[in-house]
DNA sequence: TCAATTTGTCTATTCGTCTATACAAATATG
DNA sequence: CATATTTGTATAGACGAATAGACAAATTGA
């Protein structure tokens, strides 16, 4: 590490004063972005708990081998994402916490979030009836061109966006679902209101990639952060597809759990 | 899009000549990196099939609204990852293809890769006996300090690295597993040789994040690409934990599939 | 109340990214 | 074989990232 430590750390328990792995240069990702990502990952991994204070800027800068201004640029982006908050004279504190998210036959966002001790909410962004294209038709096992209801929403836990995505429903099966969903903030409850008492997960497909502009915006996550992209098909008890959806989960705010 | 198209595209079916969404600037990710990621995502999404030629550099540059040199920098990184190959006078062609990877009670890498029509191989990187730390002990349900066998390996399909990770086994249960694994290139076969005929998946936990330096190196993926991090526990028929492992999957080369 | 600590802001310089122009080299096709 | 097409390389200038130094502002604790 080329940068010499500029401030001698106070005595006592001290994390992060040992040098971190060098931040690679020339990778196409700026230093401040990489540092922000590492700090975010460390927080997600539990290195610092909510409410805990991070090492001071000078220490972090030294540990990462960068200038304090570069380090501050990293912290600024974390603050922008809502993960940390800094106050002059006081320090920088952690705000975030990941959610344990089991995926099973009866995956229900509301139940999962409530079980995690937080407040679930489905923020309805928009819905409209459109004719099923080839992909939607295949997933829902209907004829191409059949009217489907397309709903776009964000799912939040304690006001923090967890997932953002789109779901398609057979329009004739779910009249006015968008209106009831918008009113209740819960998809499961809206379906129940419409007489659909049960459905279960048929298949979940997962990939991951860096968030795009829309996802960054809707999920309030920093550029370059990863999203887990879930494509899922839910079916009614008679086996008929009810819903096909594709959602992006803020990877740092959720940990998917599977038990075969 | 500020950049004017510099070459009139040839007549006939033509993708990508319409302008792509503008590449954001000031995000901490260079333009060439973002372009590389988008092209990689498009390839993974099936926009171009292996063997198919990408639009020429001038067209791509125009579509992304960047200089041809910037576009070339993006293509260079994709070529470095093995996704594409370019030849002067000939064009740029796609090489990559994602693997469908079902996760279930009997997840076996070899079976999955073979089912996908490719050649599976477990590249043994190293193994040694060590004393279980707190985390390993908890996952394997043994006393802290119990000797465990730690194995590091890369799993490949047709010579392309798919996952890289570490697994821990109760040393007394799997004597010489590392040696047999190194010799056979198949964990399942190695365990069978040692008298362990069956095991099943108890739990799989998934997160995602950008690949770190080691993962970029071992998986031959470009900086900033995402990895799917799987923590898994496998147990023997009697319910006793056999293996705890944590592997990083190249997110662009694999799509995880779950059927509850 | 004051000193110490920590974050916040300003100005300036150097290095890397992006753009631009031009032309060489390799391949494909008529 | 010649032309068109496409990638590959060289040089140069403008702009953003990173560094550096200095000092102000806010908070904490003695």
**What are the tens digits of pLDDT across the range A41-57?**
888 788 888 788 999 99
CA distance B105 to chain A (A): 5
Q: Any idea which residue has 């526990």 for tokens?
A: B233
Residue B92 shares a structural domain with residue B104: no
- Which of A97, A118, A141 terminates a domain? The answer is A97
* Distance, CA of B222 to CA of B86 (rounded, Å): 17
Do residues A121 and A239 both lie within one domain? yes
3-class secondary-structure state, position B165? strand
Whether residue A32 lies within 8 A of chain B, CB to CB, comes out as yes
Considering the domain architecture, whether residues B82 and B183 belong to the same structural domain is answered as no
Least Cα separation, residue A183 to chain B (angstroms) = 30
Is there a single domain that holds both residue B70 and residue B116? no
**Nearest chain B residue (CA) to A231:** B257
What is the CA A194 to chain-centroid distance, rounded? Answer: 29
From the CA of B28 to the C1' of C6: give the distance in Å: 26
Contact A209 B104 (CB under 8 A): no
Segment B211-229 mean pLDDT:
80
Q: How far apart are CA A242 and CA A99, in angstroms?
A: 27
Q: What percent of chain A has pLDDT over 90?
A: 31
Cross-chain Cβ contact A103/B24 below 8 Å: no
Task: List chain B residues with CB under 8 Å of A107.
Answer: 260
Reported as half-sphere exposure (CB side, CA atoms, 13 A), residue B40 has a value of 30
Say whether the CB atom of B68 is under 7 angstroms from strand C: yes
From chain A, the residues in CB contact with B44 under 8 A are 207
The mean per-residue pLDDT over the stretch B218-233 comes to 82
Q: Does B214 touch chain A (CB under 8 A)?
A: no
pLDDT beyond 70 at A105: yes
- Cβ-based contacts of B107 with chain A (< 8 Å): 260
Supply the ipTM of this predicted assembly: 0.53
The answer to whether some atom of strand C lies closer than 7 Å to the beta carbon of B27 is: no
Residue A207: pLDDT band (50, 70, 90) is confident
Same domain for A32 and A127, yes or no, is: no
CATH of the domain at A76: 1.10.10.10
- The distance (Å) linking the CA of A230 with the C1' of C17 is 35
| Integer CA distances (angstroms), A135 to A74, A139, A205, in order | 40, 6, 15
Kindly state the percentage of chain A with pLDDT values over 70: 89
| pLDDT at B224 (0 to 100) | 65
Which chain A residue has its CA at the smallest distance from B22's CA? Answer: A213
Among candidate residues A46, A58, A59, the one with its CA nearest the CA of residue A16 = A59
Quick one: closest CA in B to A207, which residue?
A: B255
CA distance A41 to chain B (A): 8
Tens of pLDDT, residues A1-41 = 333 333 333 333 344 445 567 788 888 899 999 999 899 88
User: Over chain A, what HEC string results?
Assistant: CCCCCCCCCCCCCCCCCCCCCCCCCCCCECHHHHHHHHHHHHHHCCCCCCCCECCCHHHHHHHHCCCHHHHHHHHHHHHHHCCEEEECCCEEEECCCCEEEEECCCCCHHHHHHHCCCCEEEEEEEEEEEECCHHHHHHHCCCCCCEEEEEEEEEEECCEEEEEEEEEEECCCCCCHHHHHHHHCCHHHHHHHCCCCCCEEEEEEEEEEECCHHHHHHHCCCCCCEEEEEEEEEECCCCCEEEEEEEEEEHHHEEEEECC
Which tens digits make up the pLDDT trace of B96-126?
667 888 888 888 888 888 887 788 888 889 8
Are residues A153 and A251 part of one domain? yes
Rounded distance in angstroms from the CA atom of residue B208 to the C1' atom of nucleotide D26 = 38
Cα A133 to chain centroid, rounded: 28
A184 and A77 within one domain: no
- pLDDT band at residue A69, thresholds of 50, 70 and 90? very high
The residue from B57, B77, B96 where one domain ends is: B96
Which residues 28-67 in chain B have a CB closer than 7 A to strand C?
Answer: 30-32, 65-67
The CB density around residue A225, as the number of other CB atoms within 10 Å, is 26
Residue A76 has pLDDT above 80, yes or no: yes
The conformation of residue B52, written as its DSSP 8-state character, comes to: P
Which pLDDT score, from 0 to 100, does residue A10 have? 34
* B204: contact with A, CB 8 A cutoff: yes
Across the interface, whether the CB atoms of A223 and B36 are under 8 A apart is answered no
Q: Are residues B201 and A255, on separate chains, in Cβ contact within 8 Å?
A: no
Q: In angstroms, rounded to a whole number, what is the distance separating the alpha carbons of residues A228 and A247?
A: 8
| φ/ψ (deg, to 5) at A20 | -75, 165
pLDDT at residue B20 tops 80:
no
Task: Note whether B211 contacts A: Cβ–Cβ < 8 A.
Answer: no
Give the dihedral sign, CA B24/B26/B28/B30.
positive
- A77 lies in the same domain as A143: no
Per-residue pLDDT at A97: 65
Residue-level pLDDT at A18: 53
Task: Report the domain count for chain A.
Answer: 2
Q: Please give the residue range of the domain that contains residue A15.
A: 1-97
Nucleotide minimizing C1' to CA distance for residue A3 = D19
* CATH code of the domain in which B149 resides: 3.40.1410.10
Q: Are residues A160 and A245 in the same domain?
A: yes
Q: Which stretch of A150-159, A172-181, A222-231, A238-247 has the lowest confidence by average pLDDT?
A: A222-231
Distance, in angstroms, between B231 CA and closest chain A CA?
9
State whether B258 and A200 contact (CB < 8 Å). no
What are the φ and ψ backbone dihedral angles of A246, each rounded to 5 degrees? -135, 120
Are residues B65 and B136 located together in one domain of the fold?
Answer: no
Instruction: Please report the pLDDT score of residue A9 as a whole number.
Output: 34
Mean pLDDT of the residues in chain A: 83
> Stated in angstroms, how far is B1 CA from D15 C1'?
19
Nucleotide nearest to A29 (CA to C1'): D17
Q: How far is the CA of A250 from the C1' of C8 (A)?
A: 30
Claim to verify: residue A124 and residue A240 sit in the same structural domain: yes
What's the rounded Cα separation, in Å, for the pair A204 and A139? 12
Best probe of the B interface among A207, A233, A254, by most B CBs < 10 A, is: A207
| Highest mean pLDDT of the ranges A148-162, A175-189, A204-218 | A148-162
| CA distances for B96 relative to B47, B78, B169, angstroms | 12, 10, 34
Q: In chain A, which residues have their Cβ closer than 8 Å to the Cβ of B32? A: 28
A239 interfaces chain B, CB cutoff of 8 Å? no
User: Is A41 touching B (CB cutoff 8 A)?
Assistant: yes
CB atoms within 10 A of CB A241: 19
- Same domain? For B72 and B166 the reply is no
Q: By percentage, how much of chain B surpasses pLDDT 90?
A: 30
Q: What is the pLDDT of residues B124-156, one digit of tens each?
A: 898 899 999 988 999 899 999 999 999 999 998
**Cα–Cα distance, A189 to A121 (Å, whole number):** 12
Q: Does at least one atom of strand C sit less than 7 Å from the CB of A25?
A: yes
pLDDT value for B30: 92
Q: Are A146 and A130 in contact (CB under 8 A)?
A: no
Query: Would you state the pLDDT for residue B174?
Result: 85
Angle between helix B68-81 and helix B57-64 axes, rounded to 10 deg:
110
**Among B55, B72, B96, residue at a domain's last position:** B96
């Amino acid at each position: 590490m080329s940068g010499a430590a500029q401030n001698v750390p106070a005595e006592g328990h001290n994390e992060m004063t040992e040098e971190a792995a060098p931040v690679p240069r020339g990778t196409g990702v700026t230093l401040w972005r990489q540092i922000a990502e590492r700090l975010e990952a460390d927080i997600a991994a539990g290195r610092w708990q909510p409410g805990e204070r991070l090492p001071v800027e000078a220490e972090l800068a030294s540990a990462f081998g960068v200038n304090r201004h570069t380090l501050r640029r990293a912290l600024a982006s974390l603050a922008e994402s809502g993960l940390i908050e800094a106050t002059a004279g006081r320090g920088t504190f952690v705000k975030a916490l990941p959610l344990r998210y089991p995926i099973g036959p009866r995956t229900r966002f509301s139940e999962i979030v409530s079980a995690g001790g937080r407040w679930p909410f489905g923020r309805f962004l928009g819905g409209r009836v459109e004719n099923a294209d080839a992909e939607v038709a295949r997933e829902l096992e209907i004829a191409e061109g059949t009217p489907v209801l397309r709903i776009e929403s964000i799912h939040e836990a304690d006001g923090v966006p967890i997932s953002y995505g789109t779901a398609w429903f057979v329009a004739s099966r779910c009249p006015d679902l968008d209106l009831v969903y918008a009113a209740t903030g819960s998809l499961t409850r809206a379906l129940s209101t419409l007489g659909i008492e049960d459905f279960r997960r048929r298949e979940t497909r997962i990939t991951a990639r860096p968030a795009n502009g829309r996802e960054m915006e809707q999920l309030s996550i920093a550029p370059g952060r990863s999203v887990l992209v879930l494509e899922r098909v839910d079916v009614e008890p008679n086996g008929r597809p009810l819903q096909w959806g594709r959602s992006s989960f803020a990877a740092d705010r959720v940990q998917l759990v599977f038990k075969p």
